[in-house]
Amino acid sequence: MRKNIYQRQFLNLRFLNRSFMLNLSLAIIALAYFFCGSMAWAQALQDEYNSVKIKTEESRTKAEDFACPAYFPSEWKEAEAQYAQAGLLPLGSEENLKTAIAKFDTAANSYNSLFELTIPLFAQAIEDEIMALRTRMTEGGAKKLFPEYFTSADMAALTAYNQYEAKDYYNSKNTAAKALVMFQTLSSAYDTWLLRQEIIERKFAEFDSENFESGGAILSDAMDEYTAGDFDLATEKTAAAAERFNFVLSRGWVNTVELRAASAGAERQAALDKKSNIAVKDIFSEAEKIYASAKNLYDGKNYEEASKQFFNAESLYLIAGKTTIEKQMKAADAIKRAKARIEEVKKSARQAEIIFQGVSE
């Protein structure tokens, strides 16, 4: 009897243990399922966060590359604030993750909108720079003188435009930058060539023939580098050629200023001899101001400007002298006419007196 009771209790205990284990197993399975589901959901949210963050950073970089902050500073500041707020949020909760995703997405849209607004302005700015350089050289006759150098630069500018129209913005930006460098190099070379022409026109080469010849050879080398596509070296050599031509010009002005000063001094003395300082005081006074300025420039070793001012003063002294002579001639003629008139009056008076005396008799 007692044995049967023990057997039943044992069976009940085993049943309870089995039930407990079954329930425990089911609970573990349910927890595992819930945990795995939560992990999968959290991972999906994290992946979305990572994706939108990368997208935002790409949009931000693209906007920066095309100078959006410079064109729309206040709007850029707002987008940056959204971007910063998203990056500062702690990511320990679902709510923060979702908020960060929303802020990154808003910032990305702002960056993209600014990019679309900036692109035409950015492209126009580069085009304006290129056209300003090209127009200056073309109006100066450079394209007619050196058409072969313009072909490649024009082609680069046209390629950049076509890439822009095709919305290939990065390649368009790079090609336009290359075209701009090409025109800048050409512009520097043209300015250097103009220095050479000035030396020839002023006949200054004789004062420093060595630097004149050296400058010409270096400028020719620079254009060879330009044709080969090494624009940095072309620019460097162009600057070296310009330096030599400027040496020649300096030598020329040093020699010329002495001649100009002497000529101006001679004309000044001639004007004084004619009493121009009295006869045409205004003209002479203006010449004196310019002459004094020329001497100050000479003392300051600014020989080019001093030469020009001495020349201007000389011209005014010459005008003053001629005007004085003209005035003197007019005055002499007036005196002559006045004397003739007086003689006529005297003659008429004598004749009248003779007639009067005859009538009296």
**242-278 pLDDT, tens per residue?**
999 999 999 999 999 999 999 999 999 999 998 988 8
Average pLDDT of the segment spanning 215-221? 97
Nearest alpha-carbon partner for 316 in 276, 279, 278: 276
CA angle 251, 254, 255 (to 5 degrees): 90
Three-class SS string for 226-251? HHHCCHHHHHHHHHHHHHHHHHHHHH
d(CA 254, CA 228): 38
Q: Which two tokens stand for residue 353?
A: 């007196």
Instruction: Quote the radius of gyration of the chain (alpha carbons, Å).
Output: 47
Average pLDDT of the segment spanning 306-320? 93
How many residues are present in the chain? Answer: 361
Average pLDDT of the segment spanning 99-117? 94
72 Ramachandran zone, left/alpha/beta (phi>0; psi -120 to 50): beta
**114-163 pLDDT, tens per residue?**
999 999 999 999 999 999 999 999 999 999 988 999 999 999 999 999 99
